[in-house]
Amino acid sequence: MGAVDIAVPQAPLLSRTPMVALLGNPNCGKTALFNRLTGARQKVANYAGVTIERKEGSFSSPAGHGFRVLDLPGAYSLSAHTPDEAITRDVVAGLRAGEQSPDVVVCVVNATNLRLNLRLVLEIKRLGLPMILALNMVDVAKKRGIEIDADRLAQELGMPVVETVAVQAGGEKSLLRALDAMWPLHESAPQPLAAIDAVGVEETQREVRRILALVSSDARDTGNLTEKIDNVVLHPVLGPVILAVLMFLVFQAVFSWANVPMDMIKAGVDGVGTMVKGAMADGLLRSLLVEGILGGAGSVLVFLPQILILFFFILILEDCGYLPRAAFLLDRLMGGVGLSGRAFIPLLSSFACAIPGVMAARTIQNPRDRLVTIMIAPLMTCSARLPVYALIIAAFIPEREVYGFMSLQGLVLFVLYFAGIASAMAVAYVMKRTMGANSKQPLMLELPAYHWPHMQNLALGLWERCKIFLSRVGTIILTLMVLLWFLSSFPGAPEGATHPPIYYSLAGILGRGLEYVFAPIGFNWQICIALVPGLAAREVAVGALGTVYALSQSGEELAQSLTPIIAGSWTLPTALSLLAWYVFAPQCMSTLSVVRRETNSIRYPLMMAGYMFALAYTASFLTYRISLFLIGG
Ligand SMILES: Nc1nc2c(ncn2[C@@H]2O[C@H](COP(=O)(O)OP(=O)(O)OP(=O)(O)O)[C@@H](O)[C@H]2O)c(=O)[nH]1
Ligand SMILES: [Mg+2]
């Protein structure tokens, strides 16, 4: 650690728990450090703009002092250009209403890229808050032969400098010691932010060069491997081909790897169902357990392996550093519809769920670009659609190979994802046109060095996904299933009924009413029932179909899994029409409410719901009618 004498200010001692803010350029390891300090599990990935909100945690130092700590979005400078950078600026400069400015700023820098990172350090230093510089990623720097004289750097900057490795156990120790060395802390307030003019920038730049010349040796090897990989991956012809092949392989894997674990879960759920049926007398409670809970929530649970496989690939791509490259490759394509390559990462996040996608649009500088990106994010195929797609595909698309190596089911899934992307691009094009054209801005994105995915990140990421999925199944899906079971079971069938009791139930009446609206696109009343709870969350539709069909089965038939039932009772045009519906329909309340929050207006979520319903109905109508015409009912 580089020690320096810091003049102790004559301010009163701090009486509250001190707040430490982690600040630095994007992708320098702030969140990794935050997680290491606090034991939290915030998302860490190898591209700029992962963190988009302030996150708070706490820890105590070896000397027993308690600290609060803030993880902030990365920023290149304090003159914010994007909404996420603005959060960072406002927090450190004490501009947020009702929030104290931090008592200590830990400026995290990427030791392999001091030239870029030091600018921000100098800028923050002008705020005059107590500061520590954390030279992070020294492990990578050492491997590359970059040597930094930490003592000298501390002298030049007038602040303690510590070396950290945020991804290694114990890699935060030196920072903790430095914090203890600062104890006791005093009250401090930041200097007002001064607007920096061109002269200021020039001066800062000169200062950076001067310091660099004093403290760092030239690197022997500056990420040679990264360059070599990029020559292939960013190649104008090879690049896009590699991207397409990668995407394609992912969807193939989702189907071909998932079979065995899915069968196991299915067998487990069926086994429990048979057991309950055997152990209990026929009655309401048994029906609730078997048809409501196992038939409903159980049929969603089966899709866990597919979701995990999809995320396995997404997490690897995120962590190794490939994502910003893909953004570059697609920049031209996206430019064609008036979007910038910046929109790529928010849109890609939407494959997990539109909500983080909509929020990640904060990293987009141009307000119109940001709005268009938000509006099309829900057209990206979120993971909640996967169970719906997978169910219908498994029921209607035969499990065979095309050209000897592609699974037909995987291919159909790929087409569905592609349909989402293509329509998003078309919508973006139209919106850009109607909002008035504006000039396209060049894409400026930092390309991080590649590294192997950290197994721990990967495992944690998958575990988080697993938890999210299971808790959805256990909470919202389960609740809706019980509600739906209730609505589908009462009032019972009248005297001399010719249909199963559900036909006469409240849900049945609702479904039959909706059928008037949806019959033109091929939906029967059972599907119509499932669409309603499916509005809350898409996967619920699968569970709802599970419950509805379980209740539609007569007598003592053994609980059959959903796939063969729908294969037997729907026509292919109906199945295709439902797939088309799910590509477009805005079946997710939470997304709409996040859009409302992010755009600060009710207008945009309404517009979104409107255009998506219109698209969904039209697409399903065309799909249904055309396939009826071509293949018959
Ligand atoms: N080898 C090595 N990798 C690191 C270290 N610290 C972080 N990383 C990796 O660097 C990448 C970025 O880490 P994050 O913690 O997400 O960076 P961040 O500063 O929070 O990024 P933003 O939220 O985008 O501003 C991840 O892939 C981490 O695994 C380190 O000390 N050594
Ligand atoms: Mg972060």
274 Cα: distance to centroid of ligand 2 (angstroms): 48
Provide the token pair at 505.
Answer: 């139930």
Cα–Cα distance measured from residue 506 to residue 186, given in angstroms and rounded to the nearest whole number? 66
pLDDT exceeds cutoff 80 at 193? no
311 Cα: distance to centroid of ligand 2 (angstroms): 19
Both ends of the chain: CA-CA distance in Å? 76
Name residue 89's beta-bridge partners. none
Q: Which of 75-79, 119-123, 408-412 has the highest mean pLDDT?
A: 119-123
- Chain segment 156-165, per-residue pLDDT in tens: 999 999 999 9
158 in the Ramachandran plot: left (φ > 0), alpha (ψ -120 to 50) or beta? left
Residue 427 near ligand 1, beta carbon < 6 Å: no
Annotated domain spans of the chain:
19-217, 238-385+397-463, 467-631
Ligand 1: which of 110, 137, 320 to mutate, most ligand atoms within 8 Å of CB?
Answer: 137
Q: Give the pLDDT score at 218.
A: 62
Average pLDDT along the chain: 86
H or E element in which residue 210 lies: helix 198-215
Name residue 107's beta-bridge partners. 23, 133
Residue 453 near ligand 1, beta carbon < 6 Å: no
CB-based neighbours (< 5 A) of ligand 2, an ion: 31, 50-51
Using N-to-C axis directions, what is the helix angle for 304-320 and 259-279, rounded to 10°? 150
Contact 528, 515 (CB under 8 A): yes
319 Cα: distance to centroid of ligand 1 (angstroms): 9
- Chain segment 217-268, per-residue pLDDT in tens: 765 555 578 888 888 888 888 998 998 888 888 878 877 788 888 889 888 8
Nearest-ligand number for the alpha carbon of 26: 1
Closest listed residue to residue 70, CA positions, set 95, 39, 105: 105
Q: Is ipTM beyond 0.95?
A: yes
Phi, psi of 212 (to 5 degrees): -55, -45
pLDDT exceeds cutoff 80 at 196? no
Residue 345 near ligand 1, beta carbon < 6 Å: no
Listed in sequence order, the residues at least 6 apart from 217 whose beta carbon sits closer than 8 Å to its beta carbon are 145, 146, 147, 148
Lowest mean pLDDT among 31-45, 158-172, 496-510, 566-580: 496-510
Cα–Cα distance measured from residue 167 to residue 154, given in angstroms and rounded to the nearest whole number? 23
51 Cα: distance to centroid of ligand 2 (angstroms): 4
Measured by CA distance, the residue closest to atom 27 of ligand 1 is 46
Average pLDDT over residues 380-402: 86
Q: Which CATH superfamily is domain 19-217 in?
A: P-loop containing nucleotide triphosphate hydrolases (3.40.50.300)
pLDDT exceeds cutoff 90 at 166? yes
Provide the token pair at 616.
Answer: 């969904």
pLDDT exceeds cutoff 50 at 546? yes
Which of the pair, 619 or 297, is modelled with greater confidence?
619
Cα–Cα distance measured from residue 115 to residue 204, given in angstroms and rounded to the nearest whole number? 11
- Chain segment 444-477, per-residue pLDDT in tens: 777 888 888 888 888 988 998 899 888 888 888 8
Name residue 59's beta-bridge partners. 67
Residue 454 near ligand 1, beta carbon < 6 Å: yes
Q: Give the pLDDT score at 556.
A: 47
Q: Give the pLDDT score at 366.
A: 84
Cα–Cα distance measured from residue 158 to residue 60, given in angstroms and rounded to the nearest whole number? 25
Q: Give the pLDDT score at 503.
A: 85
203 Cα: distance to centroid of ligand 2 (angstroms): 29
pLDDT exceeds cutoff 70 at 2? no
Measured by CA distance, the residue closest to atom 32 of ligand 1 is 137
What percent of the chain shows pLDDT beyond 90? 32
Measured by CA distance, the residue closest to atom 13 of ligand 1 is 29
605 Cα: distance to centroid of ligand 1 (angstroms): 34
pLDDT exceeds cutoff 60 at 83? yes
Lowest mean pLDDT among 17-31, 142-156, 292-306, 372-386: 292-306
Lowest mean pLDDT among 211-215, 264-268, 336-340, 627-631: 336-340
- Residue 100 pLDDT class (50, 70, 90 cuts): confident
326 Cα: distance to centroid of ligand 1 (angstroms): 19
Nearest-ligand number for the alpha carbon of 363: 1
Measured by CA distance, the residue closest to atom 11 of ligand 1 is 46
Angstrom CA distances, 297 to 246, 275, 278, 307, 501, stand at: 32, 17, 20, 16, 21
Cα–Cα distance measured from residue 516 to residue 519, given in angstroms and rounded to the nearest whole number? 6
pLDDT exceeds cutoff 90 at 311? no
pLDDT exceeds cutoff 70 at 438? no
Residue 28 near ligand 1, beta carbon < 6 Å: yes
pTM over 0.90: no
Q: Give the pLDDT score at 558.
A: 45
Residue 385 near ligand 1, beta carbon < 6 Å: no
Cα–Cα distance measured from residue 359 to residue 579, given in angstroms and rounded to the nearest whole number? 27
Residue 29 near ligand 1, beta carbon < 6 Å: yes
444 Cα: distance to centroid of ligand 1 (angstroms): 19
pLDDT exceeds cutoff 90 at 323? no
pLDDT exceeds cutoff 90 at 176? yes
